[in-house]
Amino acid sequence: MSTHCVSIIAKPKTRVTKNPFLVSSPLLFFSNKTKTKTSILRVFSSMSYDKELAAAKKAACLAARLCQKVQKAILQSDVQSKSDKSPVTVADYGSQALVSYALQRELPSELFSLVAEEDSEDLRKDGAQETLERITKLVNVILASDGSDSDFTLSTEDVVKAIDCGKSEGGSQGRHWVLDPIDGTKGFLRGDQYAIALALLDEGKVVLGVLACPNLPLTSISGGSQHSLPGEVGCLFFSVVGGGTYMQPLDSSSAVKVQVSATDNPEEASFFESFEAAHSMHDLSSSIAKKLGVKAPPVRIDSQAKYGALSRGDGVIYLRFPHKGYREKIWDHAAGYIVVAEAGGVVSDAAGNPLDFSKGRYLDLDTGIIVTNQKLMPSLLKAVRESIEEKASSL
């Protein structure tokens, strides 16, 4: 399968001769294979991703605006929020179409690669035309409100093409955007946490990440509440390799630099885990917390909003242990990974291996994902290993 899609953006008459997505690989600077990972990362950190970051932030904010509009309609209808999945379908596809279109508009290029969760297969089926028209109308409403494309309207076919740009397989060569258009769909339906998660891979490395968390309070949720007073929610986290992590309100450009918690005492550490028990083994997390001496109960939140909250020190540990047979997708972690890493945190699998986003659409992991600060990682890894061994021996 091709890793690029045909752009739906009208090209200027003067042909682009140099594709920004086809820059020389930083890794080509190293003919000696013994060069260290530090050397490679130094080259990435010396590169500028300013244009890409600006485009990613704009795309994520547009998608967040669409999702907020749909979620507001869901919460006004109890029937829809309980049984009708069509609203989240509209938001999921609409978010992906908007991000795909906005990135291509902001970064005009002949080649565009996006690894994303959705494709348009279901929208092309008989009976889906009404849903597709709803998505298209909503996307155009959001674009019109943005003001930058007031004289241009996307057709249903444009929207389908934008969605299908997400079929890329990713990999270790070139640049690939990675998107989860709505991470945490169950939280979205409940009116709780969800995120628009967008990252950029360059030669298999995550070099940029943006997390739009429309329902995450601007103040700490360390007390265990993911709710806040009206007007005090909506966070945008963003990171570029070597540049740190920043947070700003979704409706403002006033950003502050954030850091993970420096806590080195496990008894003082709170931990995050998935809200849904189906997404992570809560019993294993509980065993690990007990071994560490963690006293606070877990804070259970949907989506990669956990990564954002942890990056600013709301919690100290994030544990995710999917049930056997589940394969983690790169869009579920890429943006969150760099947001935490650039805030001073450490993200690894259960064996302490760094996450490898260069293998395509899936992450090959040992058991699960653990996140904390550098001080606590050694003791956390020990507790994880012991708990996993005990669980295996009891089966």
The string of pLDDT tens digits covering residues 177-226 is 999 999 999 999 889 999 999 999 999 999 999 999 999 999 998 765 55
34 has pLDDT over 50: no
How confident is the model at residue 327, as a pLDDT?
92
Model confidence at 81, pLDDT cuts 50, 70, 90, reads very low
The string of pLDDT tens digits covering residues 262-288 is 999 999 999 998 886 655 578 899 999
Mean pLDDT of 280-298: 89
319 has pLDDT over 50: yes
323 has pLDDT over 90: no
**Residue 149 labeled ligand binder:** no
Check if the beta carbon of residue 217 is closer than 8 Å to that of residue 154: no
Residue-averaged pLDDT of the chain? 86
The string of pLDDT tens digits covering residues 162-183 is 999 999 999 999 999 999 999 9
Mean pLDDT of 76-84: 51
**Residue 183 labeled ligand binder:** yes
Alpha carbon distance 214, 304 (integer Å): 12
How confident is the model at residue 277, as a pLDDT?
60
How confident is the model at residue 209, as a pLDDT?
98
Q: Is 219 a catalytic residue?
A: no
**Residue 301 labeled ligand binder:** no
Q: What is the 3-class SS of the chain, one letter each residue? A: CCCCCCCCCCCCCCCCCCCHHHCCCHHHHCCCCCCCHHHHHHHHHHCCCHHHHHHHHHHHHHHHHHHHHHHHHHHCCHHHHHHCCHHHHHHHHHHHHHHHHHHHHHCCCCCCCEEECCCCCHHHCCCCHHHHHHHHHHHHHHHHHHCCCCCCCCCHHHHHHHHHCCECCCCCCCEEEEEEEEECHHHHHHCCCCEEEEEEEECCEEEEEEEEEEEEECCCCCCCCCCCCCCCEEEEEEEECCCCEEEEECCCCCCEEECCCCCCCHHHCCEEEECCHHHCCHHHHHHHHHHHCCCCCCEEECCCHHHHHHHCCCCCEEEECCCCCCCCEHHHCHHHHHHHHCCCEEEEECCCCECCCCCCCECCCCCCEEEEECCCHHHHHHHHHHHHHHHHHCC
Q: Which of 3, 89, 136, 185 is labelled catalytic?
A: 185
**Residue 180 labeled ligand binder:** yes
Q: Is 185 a catalytic residue?
A: yes
Q: Which of 3, 89, 92, 302 is labelled catalytic?
A: 92
Which structure tokens are listed for 172? Answer: 């270790």
How confident is the model at residue 7, as a pLDDT?
73
**Residue 356 labeled ligand binder:** no
